Amino acid sequence: MRGPHNIWRLIRTGATLERTGAMGVVLDAFDAPRPLRIAARVMGWPFKWLGYEGDPTMPPATRALSALGPAYIKFGQVLSTRPDLVGDDLALQLRVLQDKLPPFPVAEAKAMVEQELGQPADTIYDSFSDPVAAASIAQVHKATLAETGEVVAVKVLRPGIERAFRKDIDAFWLAATLIEWISPGFRRLRPMDVIAHFEGVVMGELDLRLEAAAASEYAANTKDDAGFTLPAVKWDYSARRVMTLGWAEGVPMGDNAAIDAAGHDRVEMSERVLQLFLNHALRDGFFHADMHQGNLKVGANGDIIALDFGIMGHIDEYTRRVYAEILFGFIRRDYKRVAEVHFEAGYVPADRDVDEFARALRAVGEPIFGMDATRISMGRLLSYLFEVTERFGMETRTELILLQRTMVVVEGVARSLNPRMNIWNVAKPVVEDYIKKSIGPRAVLSDLNKTAMVLARFGPRLPRLVEAALVRQAQEPPPADRSVWLGRLVCAGCGLGVGAVLVLGLQLLL
């Protein structure tokens, strides 16, 4: 489907960018080379009259994407998490993109429920409200389960949304292909990879079973977190295009007056929301990557309630340890150690100078520590850090960019509750606790135990593995230096022999 028939959609896109004044903004943000600028103008300017006008009160980029429809809105939201690609200014502008669209009729939502769950909606639910929220991909209804009488939230995909998204994504693929063809130098921003990332995010959101699975995993990870709750997934009433969750009653996190009226401590809540996020990122490696005020409520008991699990972040255990050591080094202002961690992790090429890198990191950290406590931002620190590491040859790591973007959002939520919050004081105990558990002696023993368990599974096969390794070494053509060949043979035998002894000992102990 990524053929010439998508050219019309691209022409309409270029015309809308021209008509709304967004074309120059976008080209400047990407630092587009001259050939690409010429091609974009040729595709947009003559057809400017065909472009959508959009809302003149919006900034140019958000105005254009909002006018072009759901897929473009979602694309802008995904790009807002990648300031490394679009620059800080445009990323900030794209973060305010709202995907609120007119709701579709209740009758269509009920028809979708019947199609997906195999029963009429009026049989499954005693009540089924008008939409309480409508976004680009789905809308939400408040309902009551007929079987139990429980109040639930029913999320239903927009009819035809999958086909509409696929058509636009095909056009995005064509655009990325043309960009790389017209301007090979633009490949440094990896446009094909950007579209692949976007397609993965959107296809995940278009299958509500995956969102339900994310909500379920998130709930399992956080079940013991005091003051934090999630609506339960109702698996019997969920499918590909319909998801049912428990109804979350509470006041919006952004409504300070309502929070105060309910008697909640906003200072404590500001600290809790930041520490919860850090725990989820460091302890679990699985965090809510869209944790803005619209996706948070405050329950009557003061619990923070998270909603909407379409965009979640993942960080592997090794990266979490590296990230924690970097944060901890900055908290202690030990810039040499922060530099060493980058080199040990392979983030910065080994041929660079570690002392010079440490001095560059000091230039990042000291101005921030010199600020008043209420102005210190961990998100800003990470942003500056990525700028410095890029200069020293570090490749972009998408998961850390997403983490940095989410940290900025969570800090904003926390500071809206308590403007005088000291980010470092709040973060320090969480990071220190993670360091103790994941990098100290306890972590070494835990890692050895995991390694032993893996080796134990190979115990019965070790004699054959040793024999096969020795045979392979013996059959290889010996190098010119015979002592090297003999050394390899001895090392292979000794290494596997030690492994066999280790596994045997562990099996006896266990």
Most confident of 69-78, 100-109, 200-209, 215-224: 215-224
pLDDT band at 204 (very low <50, low <70, confident <90, very high): confident
CB atoms within 10 A of CB 7: 14
- 160 in helix, strand or coil? coil
**Taking residues 43-49, what's their average pLDDT?**
66
Confidence (pLDDT) at 503: 41
Containing H/E element for 370?
none
Confidence (pLDDT) at 31: 66
Question: Looking at the structure, do residues 386 and 304 belong to the same domain, yes or no?
Answer: yes
**Taking residues 455-475, what's their average pLDDT?**
67
pLDDT surpasses 90 at 495: no
pLDDT surpasses 90 at 220: yes
**Contacts for 37 with CB less than 8 Å, ≥ 6 apart:** 27
Residue 226 domain-assigned? no
Confidence (pLDDT) at 219: 95
Confidence (pLDDT) at 228: 96
Residue 241 domain-assigned? no
Of 168, 225, 290, 308, which one is the catalytic site residue?
A: 290
Question: Looking at the structure, do residues 179 and 290 belong to the same domain, yes or no?
Answer: no
Confidence (pLDDT) at 97: 67
> Within its chain, how far is the Cα of 200 from the centroid?
12
Any idea which residue has 């009433």 for tokens?
237
In the structure encoding, which two tokens stand for residue 268, read together? Answer: 């404590």
Confidence (pLDDT) at 15: 81
Residue 32 domain-assigned? yes
Report yes or no on whether pTM surpasses 0.85.
Answer: no
Question: Up-side HSE of residue 74: CA atoms within 13 Å toward CB?
Answer: 28
Q: Which of these three, 205, 234, 264, is where a domain ends?
A: 205
pLDDT in tens, 423-451: 878 888 888 888 877 766 666 566 566 66
Question: Looking at the structure, do residues 426 and 488 belong to the same domain, yes or no?
Answer: no
pLDDT surpasses 80 at 488: no
Is there a contact between 125 and 114 (Cβ–Cβ < 8 Å)? no
Question: Looking at the structure, do residues 311 and 347 belong to the same domain, yes or no?
Answer: yes
pLDDT surpasses 50 at 509: no
Dihedral sign, Cα of residue 224, residue 225, residue 226, residue 229: negative
Question: Looking at the structure, do residues 330 and 374 belong to the same domain, yes or no?
Answer: yes
Question: Looking at the structure, do residues 276 and 360 belong to the same domain, yes or no?
Answer: yes
What torsion, rounded to 10 degrees, do the Cα atoms 181, 186, 190, 191 define?
-60
Task: Name which of 147-156, 248-257, 432-441 the model is least confident about.
Answer: 432-441
Task: List strand residue ranges (DSSP E) for 224-320, in order.
Answer: 228-229, 242-246, 251-252, 286-288, 296-298, 304-306, 312-314
Q: Which of 399, 415, 352, 404 is nearest to 381 (CA)?
A: 404
Residue 282 domain-assigned? yes
pLDDT band at 508 (very low <50, low <70, confident <90, very high): very low
- The Cα 486–Cα 62 span in angstroms is 68
Question: Looking at the structure, do residues 461 and 360 belong to the same domain, yes or no?
Answer: no
pLDDT in tens, 286-322: 999 888 888 899 999 999 999 989 888 888 888 888 8
In the structure encoding, which two tokens stand for residue 118, read together? Answer: 């195999």
**Contacts for 408 with CB less than 8 Å, ≥ 6 apart:** 377, 379, 380, 383
355 is catalytic: no
pLDDT surpasses 80 at 350: yes
Confidence (pLDDT) at 500: 44
In the structure encoding, which two tokens stand for residue 253, read together? Answer: 């996190």
Number of domains in the chain: 3
pLDDT surpasses 50 at 499: no
Confidence (pLDDT) at 107: 94
pLDDT in tens, 319-334: 888 888 887 888 788 8
pLDDT surpasses 70 at 83: no
Q: Which of 79, 93, 42 is nearest to 189 (CA)?
A: 79
CB atoms within 10 A of CB 88: 12
pLDDT in tens, 352-393: 889 998 998 888 777 766 665 566 666 666 667 767 777 777
Q: Which of these three, 439, 457, 473, is where a domain ends?
A: 439
Is there a contact between 421 and 271 (Cβ–Cβ < 8 Å)? yes
In the structure encoding, which two tokens stand for residue 30, read together? Answer: 């990407």
Task: Give the max Cα distance, the chain.
Answer: 84
pLDDT band at 402 (very low <50, low <70, confident <90, very high): confident
Residue 215 domain-assigned? no
Question: Looking at the structure, do residues 451 and 434 belong to the same domain, yes or no?
Answer: no
For residue 63, the enclosing domain spans 4-100+162-205
- The Cα 277–Cα 222 span in angstroms is 11
Question: Looking at the structure, do residues 169 and 308 belong to the same domain, yes or no?
Answer: no
Question: Looking at the structure, do residues 459 and 504 belong to the same domain, yes or no?
Answer: yes
Residue 402 domain-assigned? yes
Q: Which of 400, 399, 394, 345 is nearest to 378 (CA)?
A: 400
Is there a contact between 46 and 56 (Cβ–Cβ < 8 Å)? no
Is there a contact between 79 and 86 (Cβ–Cβ < 8 Å)? yes
Average pLDDT of every residue of the chain: 79
Residue 127 is given by DSSP the state: E
pLDDT band at 64 (very low <50, low <70, confident <90, very high): confident
Residue 284 domain-assigned? yes
Question: Looking at the structure, do residues 433 and 470 belong to the same domain, yes or no?
Answer: no
- Report the Cα–Cα distance between both ends of the chain, in Å, rounded: 58
Task: List strand residue ranges (DSSP E) for 237-326, in order.
Answer: 242-246, 251-252, 286-288, 296-298, 304-306, 312-314
- The Cα 349–Cα 389 span in angstroms is 10
Residue 153 domain-assigned? no
Is there a contact between 101 and 136 (Cβ–Cβ < 8 Å)? yes
Confidence (pLDDT) at 209: 94
pLDDT surpasses 80 at 481: no
Question: Looking at the structure, do residues 473 and 493 belong to the same domain, yes or no?
Answer: yes
Task: Give the CA distances from residue 325 to residues 204, 322, 410, in Å, rounded to whole numbers and listed in that order.
Answer: 32, 5, 21
